[in-house]
């Protein structure tokens, strides 16, 4: 009897239907860079100047329904800190109100962090060269001091943050994808 029921279940067609949700696409020169669905986190600056870092609760009719959580660090009796969610705010933004979208954190080589490393090393070598100059001028090396200052300068320019997010406009475009089953 069990084999008969199993064979009937395998033969019958079991279709399931699901409602697809709307989503937002970020394109650079008509190539997709990122996609946001309901449940994803998004960080952007609105056209009014407000900076939002929130979770997308839903995307419907060109509108993003967002929830931003307020997280506070609270001290414990043991001297440590815990993170506690103090509350949350709900927002609605039309996708055309997004002015800039923050770039996501890249993995791999970080030019900005390498610049900070070069500046730190240059400061140490410069201080060491200054001490050698004060105490033993015979061992002082001017080319080493000049190289340290040069590397520190290069590190400064490498560490400058040139990215203030991706500004929506000519280069970057947001597109709203309506997945509703309405007949138009």
Rg (CA), the chain: 28
Please report the pLDDT score of residue 119 as a whole number: 93
pLDDT per residue over 69-103, tens digit each? 988 998 999 989 999 888 899 999 998 999 988 87
pLDDT band, residue 164 (cuts 50/70/90):
low
pLDDT per residue over 20-57, tens digit each? 678 899 898 889 988 888 889 999 989 898 888 999 99
pLDDT band, residue 19 (cuts 50/70/90):
low
Please report the pLDDT score of residue 104 as a whole number: 66
Domain limits, the chain: 21-103+163-177, 111-159
| Greater model confidence, 10 or 136 | 136
Structure tokens of 53? Answer: 């870092």
């Amino acid at each position: 009897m069990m084999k008969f029921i199993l064979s009937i279940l395998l033969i019958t067609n079991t279709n399931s239907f699901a409602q697809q949700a709307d989503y937002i696409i970020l394109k650079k020169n008509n190539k997709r860079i990122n996609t946001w669905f309901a449940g994803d986190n998004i960080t952007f600056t609105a056209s009014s100047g407000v900076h939002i870092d929130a979770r997308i609760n839903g995307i419907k009719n060109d509108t993003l329904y967002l929830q931003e959580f307020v997280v506070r660090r609270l001290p414990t009796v043991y001297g440590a800190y815990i993170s506690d969610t103090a509350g949350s705010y709900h927002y609605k933004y039309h996708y055309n109100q997004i002015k800039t979208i923050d770039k996501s954190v890249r993995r791999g080589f970080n030019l900005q962090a390498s610049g900070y490393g070069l500046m730190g090393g240059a400061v140490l070598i410069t201080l060491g060269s200054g001490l050698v100059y004060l105490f033993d001028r015979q061992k002082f090396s001017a080319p080493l001091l000049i190289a340290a200052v040069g590397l520190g300068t290069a590190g400064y320019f490498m560490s400058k943050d040139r990215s203030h997010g991706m500004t929506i406009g000519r280069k970057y475009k947001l597109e709203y994808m309506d997945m509703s089953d309405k007949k138009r």
